[in-house]
Structure 1
Amino acid sequence: MEVAGYDRARVLKAFDDAKTGVKGLVDAGVEKIPQIFVTPPDIVAQTSDTNREDFSIPVIDLEGSEKDSIVEKIRHASETWGFFQVVNHGIPVSVLDEMVCGVRRFFEQDTEVKKQFYTRDVTRKIVYNSNFDLYSSPVANWRDTFFCFMAPNPPKPEELPDACRDIQIEYSKLILSLGFRLFGLLSEALGLERSHLMDMDCAKGLTFVCHYYPACPEPELTLGASKHTDDGFLTVLLQDQIGGLQVFLENQWINVRPVPGALVVNIGDLLQLISNDKFRSVEHRVVANREGPRVSVACFFSTSLAPSTKLYGPIKELISEDNPPKYRETTVQEYVSYSYFKGLDGTSPLLHFRV
């Protein structure tokens, strides 16, 4: 609860105008988090049941001996969890490590250099700020972020930050290749031709989002990321070994334990929509941590965000008399726009598109 006379708008503007983000607060030696980050205790306090052995996000070896077995494991994870981790995915550990280091370099470089990328203009090639929804969300999250679109029209190399330019280009190419592979496996898991999801342009667009979660002096009072679902088709996440990602299943928060060399994959809203609820887009969040800083790189697969009239609805091969369409058709732009403006309360925007 905000104290009497507290001018939230003024505090938000001062924080934003400083262009130093949450890291700037930590660098200044803050010992108590500002009121704009304080989250209702009933939201922060929910914890996972770490004693349940069956509550471990599946880890799938993409170089397993039986392809049919890999497809079946992906099908089960996508239907049950909405999340899974992949190992032997073809991206060298050295590349993963350097990508994490590159993100750290960006956020830990000289403040004046970093400030040149700070903006609220999402049409810019590179966008760095703290909390994309800073002025619309009821509470701010304890994190800073930079993002850009790496497909189908990536920035010119010279437009990317020096701190992570080379590794970002290399990693995005490898992630695109992995994404193509995953969409093939997901198509087969839906009982479709291997090229089906790719032919729908599900991997045409790639958004590259790098999060930096500074060590928090009062992690019990805030979150690194509030609960949400992802609005694209698929997300591939690289997280460091500190952890903090949780998914909401069976009415509780479950920790996604970091696995060395693994990548976390989760189903997005649009894939749940076109699969007619066969696959699940599940709420997830990131808890704040006294350890830190925590780093993650989320790669979101979608179509190109350029205006398009192409409609997406439940795939006709997945519809039957016993399983009628559960969603109306929508364009990706309509869905993302609605998600951006109407999903701020943490409720899945999918509900709006139900038939």
Structure 2
Amino acid sequence: MLLHYTIFPFPCAEKKKRKKLHHLQLSLSLTTKTAMVESTPPLLHDYGQLLVHSGQDCAARRSNIFSPEVVMAECELPLIDLRGLRSGDERERAGCAAAICRASSEWGFFQVINHGISPELLRRMRREQVKLFHAPFERKATCGLLNNSYRWGSPRATSPKQFSWSEAFHIPLAKISEEACYGEFSSLRGVMEEYAASMQGLARLLAGVLAQNLGHQKGVFEESCDESTCFLRLNRYPACPISPEICGLVPHTDSDFLTILHQDEVGGLQLMKDSKWVAVKPNPEALIVNIGDLFQAWSNDAYKSVEHKVMANAKVGRYSIAYFLCPSYESSIGSCKEPSIYRKFTFGEYREQIQQDVKMTGHKVGLRRFLLNW
């Protein structure tokens, strides 16, 4: 279906603005048509519909689409060499652990190198991921791949600022061994099993360091966070023809204990630091680790779950894979120290509250809902 409507009333006569608007309308028509038969989902169509029906005034719409690109400060996350954790020198081990805990408190994000995951495994996983996402959109959306976990865009969005220009497979680790999940992509199964096992080992290592720093046994999460509760998310952020201001993934915090991200060289990840957005410089040798809401609550705010987002790229697509260290829905998330900042809650309660908030308000409220003094 082609989009032939005019998205913005445009009384202004400036030639540059008219030219941009014309290109937008042309892009809406052509890209929507090709999306029906190519790999990219109809993101442009849904975004265009949101612009029309969001209720924004005309001036605001023109401002959103024609405002100049905001240049973000670029940062390099704390870089931690995990060889230190395997050192025979006790002082070196302690220094590496301290660096992990410090970054988790001050940034909520850090990078790790010499993490023990084979570069060849990362390359194989990326090749299989690209192959999967290059499948026709209709096949991805309808044939039940990977536990029928395919999702795209933002079905619950009520305004353009809530729309994510991306597609993903969000797979429970418990399902990745099932042959029926893969269909014609059978070569993905073995690679994904190996990848998930490696990520799980690394996540437990890091979570153990963070727990020990707070006076707990390093294996405290091993029983509650296993292959039956954790997830992998394969992400693709197609090139966005409209504007560099559109989010590939809208601002959010992660709802797990911690996340390990393997991203490509394109960039686009931004995080909130000192009340402003900063862009994360890609490092091809490193994995990115960030603290999730559950770890912030469990640590009584010793570690920080930081808001982050992904910006779309006008020219090239971006790929990433995220591993989420999650407990069972019945697991109680209580603060490890008293007096507690948060009331006790289960992971299931937390997820349910998030879904209710998104449905009612369009965005996640998160941990604030569970503060004792909120």
Q: Structure 2-normalised TM-score?
A: 0.76
Q: Structure 1-normalised TM-score?
A: 0.80
2:165 to 142, 146, 164: 142
Larger Rg: 2
Match in the other structure for 1:349 = 366
Match in the other structure for 2:257 = 233
**CA 1:35–1:110: 2 relative to 1, 3 Å:** closer
1:108 to 131, 134, 139: 134
Counterpart CA distance in 2 for 1:149 and 1:44 is: 40
**CA 1:200–1:109: 2 relative to 1, 3 Å:** closer
Q: Is the 8 A contact 2:255 2:294 kept in 1?
A: yes
Q: Is the 8 A contact 1:231 1:339 kept in 2?
A: no
Counterpart CA distance in 1 for 2:68 and 2:249 is: 11
How many pairs are equivalent? 322
Unaligned runs of 5+ in 2: 1-6, 10-27, 53-60
1:327 maps to amino acid: Y
**CA 1:21–1:72: 2 relative to 1, 3 Å:** farther
Task: Select the structure that is richer in helix.
Answer: 2
1:69 pairs with 2:90: no
Unaligned runs of 5+ in 1: 5-10
Seq. identity, %: 30
**Equivalences for residues 156-305 of structure 1 within 5 A:** 156-163=178-185, 164-201=188-225, 205-305=229-329
**CA 1:260–1:95: 2 relative to 1, 3 Å:** same
1:352 maps to amino acid: R
Offset at 1:257?
1.6
1:340 pairs with 2:362: no
The 3-state SS of whatever aligns with 1:198 is coil
**CA 1:277–1:283: 2 relative to 1, 3 Å:** same
**CA 1:114–1:189: 2 relative to 1, 3 Å:** same
Match in the other structure for 2:21 = none
**CA 1:74–1:269: 2 relative to 1, 3 Å:** same
Offset at 1:327?
0.2
**CA 1:117–1:258: 2 relative to 1, 3 Å:** farther
Root-mean-square deviation (CA, aligned residues, Å) is: 3.3
Match in the other structure for 2:78 = 58
1:34 pairs with 2:48: yes
Match in the other structure for 2:110 = 84
Between 1 and 2, higher relative CO (CA 8 Å, sep ≥ 6) is seen in 1
The 3-state SS of whatever aligns with 1:192 is coil
Q: Is the 8 A contact 1:203 1:303 kept in 2?
A: no
The 3-state SS of whatever aligns with 2:332 is coil
**CA 1:31–1:146: 2 relative to 1, 3 Å:** closer
Match in the other structure for 1:7 = none
Q: Is the 8 A contact 1:44 1:222 kept in 2?
A: no
The 3-state SS of whatever aligns with 2:244 is helix
Deviation string 1:280-304 (CA, Å, 9 cap, x unpaired) is: 0000000010232211111111113
